[in-house]
């Protein structure tokens, strides 16, 4: 799992939900990672690492951040490898060109990964709706997030990747919008991910 705090939510959900999945203390910052959990009985390893700047975590050394495209280039891939990518929320207050540039790098890295090992499952998460108060409304917008999602869909069109549409999942749910979706929505997302993993 590579990306922002919404990707970290998946990691935290899985470590809480799967009793045999035990987190290994790497003494790394919780927000940035790397975070690793292992279930040796079922041969499962789950990892999380934050994407590179721009990022709004306050207590974080830039040396601890890695760009998603660089991390994708380090992954060998294979039929038992699932890569989940979630970037977008931290780009909301920047011009769309910054987001496009980042997605281009990620797309190229995904193409290289799939060329190395076509059986690798790659899932890209869209941005979801968020609760906007007066302060957040000055630098963030669901309308802009919707435009980012359109760019994301266009960028990965034609590639063998699955798009996890978090926007639609939060829009359709009765729970209030939040940049960090509540457990009920997280469960829906994990269920969707597992529907691709367990085919």
Asked, for residue 7, whether it belongs to a domain, the answer is no
Asked, for residue 45, whether it belongs to a domain, the answer is no
Q: Using the predicted structure, report yes or no on whether residue 87 has a pLDDT greater than 70.
A: yes
pLDDT in tens, 2-56: 988 888 888 999 999 889 999 998 888 777 788 899 999 999 999 998 887 777 7
Retrieve residue 107's tokens.
Answer: 């797309």
Question: In sequence order, which ranges of 18-140 are alpha helices (DSSP H)?
Answer: 68-74, 96-116, 134-137
Length of the chain as a residue count: 199
Asked, for residue 143, whether it belongs to a domain, the answer is yes
* Mean predicted confidence (pLDDT) in 158-176: 85
Q: What is the rounded CA–CA span in Å between residue 33 and residue 162?
A: 24
| Contact assessment for residue 11 and residue 48, using Cβ atoms and an 8 Å cutoff | yes
HSE of 50, CA atoms in CB hemisphere, 13 A: 22
Asked, for residue 86, whether it belongs to a domain, the answer is yes
Residue numbers of the domain that contains 135: 56-197
| Contact assessment for residue 54 and residue 76, using Cβ atoms and an 8 Å cutoff | no
* CATH number of the CATH domain containing 177: 3.40.50.1110
Confidence label for 98 from pLDDT (cuts 50, 70 and 90): very high
Number of domains observed in the structure of the chain: 1
Mean pLDDT lowest among 58-67, 164-173, 178-187? 58-67
Asked, for residue 24, whether it belongs to a domain, the answer is no
| Contact assessment for residue 139 and residue 130, using Cβ atoms and an 8 Å cutoff | no
Asked, for residue 61, whether it belongs to a domain, the answer is yes
Residue in the structure block whose two tokens are 């999942």: 169
Asked, for residue 113, whether it belongs to a domain, the answer is yes
Asked, for residue 119, whether it belongs to a domain, the answer is yes
């Amino acid at each position: 799992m590579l990306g922002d705090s919404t990707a970290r939510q998946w990691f935290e959900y899985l470590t809480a939900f799967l009793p045999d999945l035990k987190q290994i203390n790497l003494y790394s910052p919780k927000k940035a990672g790397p975070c690793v959990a292992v279930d040796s009985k079922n041969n499962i390893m789950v990892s999380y690492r934050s994407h590179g700047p721009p990022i709004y975590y306050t207590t974080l050394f830039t040396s601890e951040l890695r760009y998603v495209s660089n991390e994708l280039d380090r992954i060998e891939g294979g039929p038992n490898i699932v890569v989940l990518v979630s970037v977008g929320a931290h780009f909301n207050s920047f011009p769309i060109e910054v987001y496009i540039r980042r997605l281009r790098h990620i797309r190229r890295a995904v193409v290289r990964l799939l060329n190395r090992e076509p059986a690798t499952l790659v899932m890209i998460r869209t941005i979801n709706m968020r609760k906007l108060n007066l302060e957040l409304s000055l630098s963030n917008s669901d309308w802009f997030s919707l435009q980012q999602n359109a760019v994301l869909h266009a960028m990965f069109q034609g590639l063998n990747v699955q798009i996890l549409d978090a926007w639609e999942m939060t829009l359709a749910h009765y729970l209030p919008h939040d940049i960090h979706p509540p457990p009920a929505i997280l469960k829906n997302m994990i269920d969707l991910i597992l529907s691709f993993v367990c085919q």
